[in-house]
Structure 1
Amino acid sequence: MAMPDMELLSQSDLPPTEPEPVTATLAVKPASRGRVIWRRLQHTPRFWIGGSVVAFFILWAIFGHFLTAWSPTDQDVDNMNYPPTILHWFGTDILGHDLYAQIVSGLQKSLIIGLVAGPAATIIAGVLGSIAGYVGGWGDKVIAWFIDLLLVLPAFFILILLYPFTHGSWVVMMVFLAVTGWMIMAQVIRNQTRSLREREFVKGARYMGFGTWSVVRRHIIPNVASLLIIDATLGIAAMILAETSLSFFGFGVQPPAVSLGTLIANGQSAATTRPWLFLFPAGTLILLLLAISLVGDALRDAIDPTSGVNRA
């Protein structure tokens, strides 16, 4: 039995077919370390509180003298030893000096000394400590011996002994505090580097021919960054406190210049009878140090991956 002929369908008679979807794999660029840190800081209230207070003090130190007609050396003989008024916002001392103007001037010097000497000491500690721990051998021994030698020298009393030769220059004091405040952190960084030296990524960089400074800069210092950030932040507060202590005892900033330390020293005897002379400079110092500590603590949590904060 013959089969019936079947009609051949042309391509135009076939129903249209939808093309198969093409899936493209997009490479997602990982976020940079700085962006990750910033996202963590955005969820840290301590950073915003401390940073806002620090920013306020910096702006106040820069522009605060524009808000008053008095300079730190001006004397109002008609309003000597007066409490805060509209004319003198923070009151006057026994000589008629405007306390507001003096606090602004003292805050300027304290911030300059802290913001320069603190990070400078941290940079010295990071560089010398990481190099000593990485190179090992005689280089490590020489740097370690130098650090131990400086640690036994009482830096505070040396600065007091050098005071007659420096004439109370706050610039010399700032440099001296920077070059004598790095030894303890250098020991910590040296010990951390000795353990990092045996890690695979450091060995790989060394076998690829990278020099000592390249390995230290690219692999060692980034891995101890959290320690350096903490030290730099605490160093700022420590340098401000050191300057204030020296000025309090009369071995720091000298008249006619003023410092928070000299203002606190002048007002301590009148803390109960004329409290504005002591409370305003002391309160400024305490709030500044507390705010800096809050910023440093927030930065530590954001940089350290084991800090336990919310990940971005």
Structure 2
Amino acid sequence: MSMLEEMPIADTSAGEPATVTGRKPVSRFRLVVSRLRGTPRFWVGLVGLVAVILWAAFGLIPNAWNATDLDVYNMGSSPTGLHWFGTSDIGEDIYAQTIVGLRKSLVIGLLVGPLAAIIAGVVGAVAGYLGGWWDRIIIWFIDLLLVLPSLFLFILLSPIFKSLSWVALIFLLAGFGWMIMARVIRAQTMSLRDRDFIKAARFMGVDTWTIIRRHVLPNVSSLLIIDATLGVGGAILSETTLSFFGFGIQAPDVSLGTLLAAGQGAAATRPWLFIFPAAILVFTVLSASLVGDALRDAVDPTSGVNRD
């Protein structure tokens, strides 16, 4: 094993690890964990997010109705002991439909967030490390995507994606959610490529892709983790918005967006059709945002004032 491979990543990170007089240096990971332990909003968001995931996974077990069942004797009824969230105009159980819709929205959010972060990390690292014409071409492409109205493109492409699986929506949302973070990663990579450990790797003949994979991406991984976490809430909101306007999830599939679209017309007369899916959406996005916000402040305490 070469000396380069034995070099700990913590020693080459962009931030300097904290030290305690007379003791070994504290690694960046332990420093972040110690900050998170004293951040109430992180635990509030984490508990809320875990609760939502567990409810989506097991919430149908105690319920007597499935999302496709019709109760013709209780059509358009308010919440009761039989139907906890009430029923739709055709007798669908809103509780069961909310859980099924939450599952779909969570799957999309939990896949789009990390996928967009991976794209941002790879593209930004390649642009920042290679520089020159590669950097100019990639930045031009990023700027082009940033100025394009993504919602307008979604509307134009919606007829194509209506004939495909909802999985196509995941790649569409991820394809328009990585550009800003890619610019951040590019800037970080440009500051890393002149560091001694990168120069040593080039001097030893390590190829470009290995340097990016082993030395650049690990040093910007904290930014990517934050971006992936914050991207979960953003992706859920994006999917809900598209589905609400009829450009995302299509019937017979159900998501929080389709439930909100179906219930918004009766929000004043039969509020349970709208309030319950809306409340679950707000709670889920808020929990994911609290976790991501706390992670960002733990990694970079100068990113904002201490709000705890």
In the superposition, the TM-score normalised over structure 1's length comes to 0.83
Q: Does 1:37 align with 2:32?
A: yes
**Paired letter, 1:238:** G
For the residues of structure 2 that align with 1:143 and 1:298, how far apart are their CA atoms? Answer: 31
User: Which residue matches 2:73?
Assistant: 78
Which of 149, 153, 156 is 1:154 aligned to? 149
User: Which residue matches 2:91?
Assistant: 96
Shift of 1:101: 0.3
- Rg larger in structure: 1
For the residues of structure 1 that align with 2:118 and 2:175, how far apart are their CA atoms? Answer: 10
Root mean square deviation, CA, Å: 2.3
Deviations along 1:114-167, one digit per CA (max 9) or x if unpaired, are 110111011110111011111111221222232233334333322322222222
User: Which residue matches 1:17?
Assistant: none
* Aligned residue pairs, count: 284
**Larger mean Cα displacement after TM superposition, 196-205 or 154-163:** 196-205
Please give the residue correspondences for 1:232-311 in structure 2 after superposition, counting only pairs within 5 Å. Answer: 232-304=228-300, 306=302
Distance 1:58 1:279, change over 3 A: same
Shift of 1:198: 3.2
User: Which residue matches 1:52?
Assistant: 47
**Larger mean Cα displacement after TM superposition, 145-154 or 76-85:** 145-154
Shift of 1:69: 1.6
Show structure 1 runs of 4+ deviating over 6 A: none
For the residues of structure 1 that align with 2:89 and 2:196, how far apart are their CA atoms? Answer: 67
Deviations along 1:89-130, one digit per CA (max 9) or x if unpaired, are 111111111000000000001011011011101111011101
**Paired letter, 1:265:** A
Give structure 2 stretches of 5+ with no counterpart: 1-21
**Paired letter, 2:224:** L
**Paired letter, 1:51:** L
For the residues of structure 2 that align with 1:35 and 1:148, how far apart are their CA atoms? Answer: 37
User: Which residue matches 1:123?
Assistant: 118
For the residues of structure 1 that align with 2:62 and 2:27, how far apart are their CA atoms? Answer: 42
Deviations along 1:170-194, one digit per CA (max 9) or x if unpaired, are 1111111112221222122212322
The 8 Å contact of residues 105 and 236 in structure 2, kept in 1 or not, is answered as yes
Shift of 1:278: 1.1
The 8 Å contact of residues 84 and 91 in structure 1, kept in 2 or not, is answered as yes
User: Which residue matches 1:224?
Assistant: 220
Sequence identity (%): 62
Give structure 1 stretches of 5+ with no counterpart: 1-26
Shift of 1:211: 3.1
Shift of 1:28: 6.2
Shift of 1:305: 5.7
**Larger mean Cα displacement after TM superposition, 181-190 or 82-91:** 181-190
User: Which residue matches 2:3?
Assistant: none
